[in-house]
Amino acid sequence: MTHVLQSAAWAAFQRSEGVNGLTAAGNDWSVSGLVETGPMRTRRVYAPYGPSFASAEGLDAGLEALESQSRSRGAVFVRVEPVGVDEQAESDAKQVLTRRGYHRVHHVQPEDTWRLDLSVGHDAILKGIRGGQRRAYQSAERHGVVVRASTDPHDVRLLTDLMGQVSERKDIHLRDAEYIADQAAALMPSGTAKLYLATVDGAIAAASLAYDHGDTRYYAHAGADYQYRKQAANVVLLVQMILDAQADGKKWFDFYGIAPDDAPADHPWQGFTKFKKSFGGQARHYLGTWEKPVRPLHYWIYETGRKLIAHK
């Protein structure tokens, strides 16, 4: 199963943003790459959470295809984040990457995520949610919390307004409003994105944008109004997103990035990692981000220049 960032819908969204791409597929692998221009106008091909593969041979074939197309597009290097259909499929992946000349770099997409198995059913999902969160959901009506879903791209401003409040209150950087609005406009018509809104006595209290792809719903962007924290509108909204995904036949609910197990206590993701884990689930560790030069001399010049700039 491919990640949503490897989907045709995501590639179409990127094209609408002016980012061209390339695709290739075989019997047990597929890959979608974005042709990007980085520092010093260096062209690279980046496959977010890709290639997707079911075996070591599939990964090898996917990387070969990606490298070949990248050279033909004039790329200096390729950046990949391979994801197997399961962790067993990834058992020999690092050896394949190393043998082909890849090296680890700092992650672009999160290396760790938190996933909830929805196949256990409605009642088991609720039972697995931490007591305080479950009680908040069960008492939503009494507290005036109502959740609804929207596929109107214009409604996404309700989310970005809340995200702006969170960014200011916690002094953290979140995706800009225009980019998220573009996502909604591109992904909602195909059913790949859906906005959830929670109101308290009619006022917008929390909002979240979900991605749907294959057997998985992804918890993508979220914001909440601090003044409604006692009603736990953000908790009620998230539980409803999860239960709706289960009712729609999804296998997984992916909470997206979390802090790794060995992260220090002051890791910037610790707060929302604890929040995500309170809904039950399990960790999924990915292979991380890897790079390989397909034009070695140009890559050496790029890396040397990048390091010089970083040390100024």
pLDDT in tens, 257-288: 999 999 898 888 999 999 999 999 999 999 99
Q: CA–CA separation, 268 vs 249, rounded Å?
A: 34
Checking if the pLDDT of 153 tops 90, the result is yes
Tokens of 105: 């770099």
Same-domain pairing of 83 and 126: no
Same-domain pairing of 49 and 103: yes
Checking if the pLDDT of 293 tops 60, the result is yes
Same-domain pairing of 209 and 280: yes
What CATH number corresponds to the domain at position 130? 3.40.630.30
User: What's the full length of the chain, in residues?
Assistant: 312
Number of neighbours of residue 242 by Cβ within 10 angstroms: 26
Q: CA–CA separation, 235 vs 209, rounded Å?
A: 14
Q: CA–CA separation, 239 vs 125, rounded Å?
A: 9
Checking if the pLDDT of 168 tops 70, the result is no
Same-domain pairing of 264 and 118: yes
Q: CA–CA separation, 275 vs 260, rounded Å?
A: 14
pLDDT tens by residue, 68-93 = 999 999 999 999 999 999 989 999 99
Of 55, 120, 149, 49, the C-alpha closest to 93 is 55
Same-domain pairing of 71 and 152: no
Same-domain pairing of 40 and 50: yes
Q: Are 253 and 245 in contact (CB under 8 A)?
A: yes
Q: CA–CA separation, 163 vs 157, rounded Å?
A: 10
Same-domain pairing of 252 and 204: yes
Same-domain pairing of 214 and 165: yes
pLDDT tens by residue, 13-45 = 999 999 999 999 999 999 999 999 988 889 999
Instruction: Report yes or no on whether pTM surpasses 0.85.
Output: yes
Same-domain pairing of 17 and 133: no
Same-domain pairing of 62 and 187: no
Of 238, 231, 312, the C-alpha closest to 277 is 238
- CA distances to 89, 93, 130 from 177, in Å: 38, 37, 32
| Region for 242 from its dihedrals, namely left if φ exceeds 0, alpha if ψ lies in -120 to 50, beta otherwise | alpha
Q: CA–CA separation, 35 vs 41, rounded Å?
A: 12
Same-domain pairing of 125 and 250: yes
Number of domains in the chain: 2
Tokens of 73: 């597009």
Mean pLDDT of 196-221: 98
Give residue 310's pLDDT.
67
Number of neighbours of residue 270 by Cβ within 10 angstroms: 14
pLDDT-based confidence at 246, cuts 50/70/90? very high
Q: CA–CA separation, 179 vs 4, rounded Å?
A: 17
pLDDT > 70: what percent of the chain? 96
Mean pLDDT of 191-215: 98
pLDDT tens by residue, 123-152 = 999 999 999 999 999 999 999 999 999 999
Q: Are 274 and 114 in contact (CB under 8 A)?
A: no
Q: Which domain holds residue 37?
A: 4-109+286-310
Same-domain pairing of 206 and 60: no
Mean pLDDT, rounded, of the chain: 94
Q: Are 251 and 220 in contact (CB under 8 A)?
A: no
